[in-house]
Amino acid sequence: MAVVFGPLSIQAEYMGGFYNRADEPNAYLWGSYAQMSYFLTGESRNYSRSSGHFGRVQPLRNFIRTRDSQGRRASGPGAWELTYRYSFLDLDDARADVLGGHAGNHTLGVNWYLTSHARMMFNYVHSRFAPGEADDKYGLNAFGVRAQFDF
């Protein structure tokens, strides 16, 4: 599911699958996520209903110096997007005696689109997970930075 209201977008997905085992009961494992994002600079995510995916983000004003429609050199702030995502994975199915554990993740992010073909991503992830049969839960905090250039 996905909805876009101007600079705000919200999407969620649920995935599940059967793990077929020859001499044991089959297991059902699942995961899901929900995320939202908001463009501080006014852009909107482009969604194609015919192909069922989001297209490139087109900054209203590129950060990298380019020529505008009249041939003048122009630059701007690029596009700035704030994001939040919660995801959950459950690899337990007690009926089938499968105890793979489960995990939940909170992700906060800032995406900076310099152009429609270049962006920087900054993420903080807080994860809580419990392995298999253990009663203990563990936490993990991570920071990630990614530079992406595609053509």
Within 8 A by CB and 6+ apart from 28, the residues are 16, 17, 18, 19, 93, 96
Helix (H, G, I), strand (E, B) or coil at 95: helix
Question: Residue 135 — very low, low, confident or very high, per pLDDT cuts 50/70/90?
Answer: low
51: CB partners within 8 A, 6+ apart: none
Residue 121 has pLDDT above 70, yes or no: yes
Higher-pLDDT residue of 69, 111: 111
| pLDDT tens figures, 65-80 | 777 678 777 788 999 9
In the predicted model, is pLDDT for residue 56 greater than 70?
A: yes
